[in-house]
Amino acid sequence: MKTTRDDIRNIAIIAHVDHGKTTLVDQLLKQSGVFRENQEVQERVMDSNDIEKERGITILSKNTAVQYKDVKINIIDTPGHADFGGEVERVLKMVNGVVLVVDAFEGVMPQTKFVVMKALALGLPIVVCLNKIDRPEARPAEVVDEVLELFMDLDASDEQLDCPFLYASARNGYAMYNPDDEPENMIPLFETIINHIPAPEGDPDANTQVLISTIDYNEYVGRIGIGKVDNGSIKVNQEAVVVNHHDPDKKQKVRISKLYEFEGLNKVDVEEAKIGSIVAISGISDLHIGDTICSPENPEAIPFQKISEPTISMNFIVNDSPLAGQEGKFVTSRHIRDRLYSELNTDVSLRVEQGETPDTYKVSGRGELHLSVLIENMRREGFEFAVSKAEVLYKTDENGKKLEPMEIAYVDVPDEFTGAVISKLQQRKGELRNMGSIAGGYTRLEFRIPSRGLIGYRGDFMTDTKGNGILNTMFDGYDEYKGDIQYRATGSLIAFESGESVTYGLFAAQDRGTLFIGAGQKVYSGMIIGQSSRAEDIEINVCKKKHLTNTRSSSADEALTLVPPRVLSLEQAIDYIDTDELLEVTPENLRIRKRILDPRLRKRANNK
Three-point CA angle 369, 88, 480, nearest 5°: 60
Q: Which residues pair with 72 in a beta bridge?
A: 8, 67
Decide if 232 contacts 256 (C-beta within 8 A).
no
Residue 528 and residue 94: Cα distance in Å, rounded?
49
Residue 513 and residue 452: Cα distance in Å, rounded?
26
Instruction: Say if residue 522 carries a ligand binding annotation.
Output: no
Q: Which helix (H) or strand (E) holds 406?
A: strand 402-414
Instruction: Say if residue 20 carries a ligand binding annotation.
Output: yes
Decide if 204 contacts 267 (C-beta within 8 A).
no
Instruction: Say if residue 247 carries a ligand binding annotation.
Output: no
Decide if 213 contacts 289 (C-beta within 8 A).
yes
Instruction: Say if residue 134 carries a ligand binding annotation.
Output: yes
Decide if 517 contacts 501 (C-beta within 8 A).
yes
Instruction: Say if residue 23 carries a ligand binding annotation.
Output: yes
The one-character DSSP state at 264 is B
User: Which residue, among 279, 292, 298, has the nearest Cα to 200 in the 3D structure?
Assistant: 279
Instruction: Say if residue 466 carries a ligand binding annotation.
Output: no
- Report the 10 Å Cβ neighbour count for 441: 9
Residue 87 and residue 62: Cα distance in Å, rounded?
10
Instruction: Say if residue 244 carries a ligand binding annotation.
Output: no
Residue 301 and residue 245: Cα distance in Å, rounded?
5
- b or e along 347-358 (b: 16 or more beta carbons within 10 Å of the residue's beta carbon)? bbbbebeebeee
Instruction: Say if residue 133 carries a ligand binding annotation.
Output: yes
Residue 198 and residue 372: Cα distance in Å, rounded?
39
Residue 434 and residue 416: Cα distance in Å, rounded?
17
Which residues define the annotated binding site? Answer: 18-23, 131-134
Which residues define the annotated binding site for GTP? Answer: 18-23, 131-134
